[in-house]
Amino acid sequence: MKILLAIDGSSFSGAAVEEVSKRTWPEGSEVRIVSVIEPPFFPTLETWVPPEQYIEALEKAAEEQAQTIINKAAERIQRAQGESLRVTQEILTGPPKNVILDDAESWHADLIVVGSHGYRGITRLWLGSVSQAIASHAKCSVEIVRAPVAA
């Protein structure tokens, strides 16, 4: 089984990592951990554009953060699963909804696992829902994991 685990470092994606790490998977299964970096967007006037070094520094910081996130997830899964689950990692760039769907399709994933922020109402309208878009458009099964609510 090929499992695509898309994470962003939030507690919600942490719940998805935990779900993948504790489950028993069929022999020969593989999990591909991805984190998607959105390119910086600057709604600016034509008279001011950020210096190139600033954009490069933002991109480098985002890449380092994504690498840390997927390294921790890979370590957690490997600690729990041992050699029974092959783990690979990838940092991708672009709009998360599209990039995750495209990656899952090109990799021929059997399952996409994502966390849900649980946005509702106007917040969902403004921010959108990556998990909902993936569930609606994926060509494979999707599992949306919710983080436990603190009591």
**Which pLDDT score is estimated for 124?**
42
Contacts 24+ apart (CB under 8 A), 37-43: 37/62, 37/63, 37/66, 37/91, 37/92, 37/93, 38/62, 38/93, 38/94, 38/95, 38/96, 39/93, 39/94
Angstrom distances, CA of residue 46 to CA of 13, 49, 50: 37, 7, 11
CB distance 20 to 31 below 8 Å: yes
- Higher local confidence (pLDDT), 126 or 60: 60
Q: Which fold has domain 2-28+49-146?
A: Rossmann fold (3.40.50)
Model pLDDT for residues 9-19, shown as the tens digit of each residue: 988 899 999 99
Burial 62-89 (b: 16+ CB within 10 A, else e): beeebeebbeebbebbbeebeeebebeb
Does pTM top 0.75 for this prediction? yes
Model pLDDT for residues 76-124, shown as the tens digit of each residue: 999 999 989 999 999 999 999 999 999 999 999 999 999 986 555 444 4
Q: Where are the domains of the chain?
A: 2-28+49-146
Mean pLDDT across the stretch 29-48?
81
Checking if the pLDDT of 47 tops 70, the result is: no
Q: Tell me what percent of the chain is helix, strand and coil, each rounded to the nearest 5.
A: 50, 20, 30
Checking if the pLDDT of 65 tops 50, the result is: yes
Checking if the pLDDT of 56 tops 90, the result is: no
**Which pLDDT score is estimated for 132?**
86
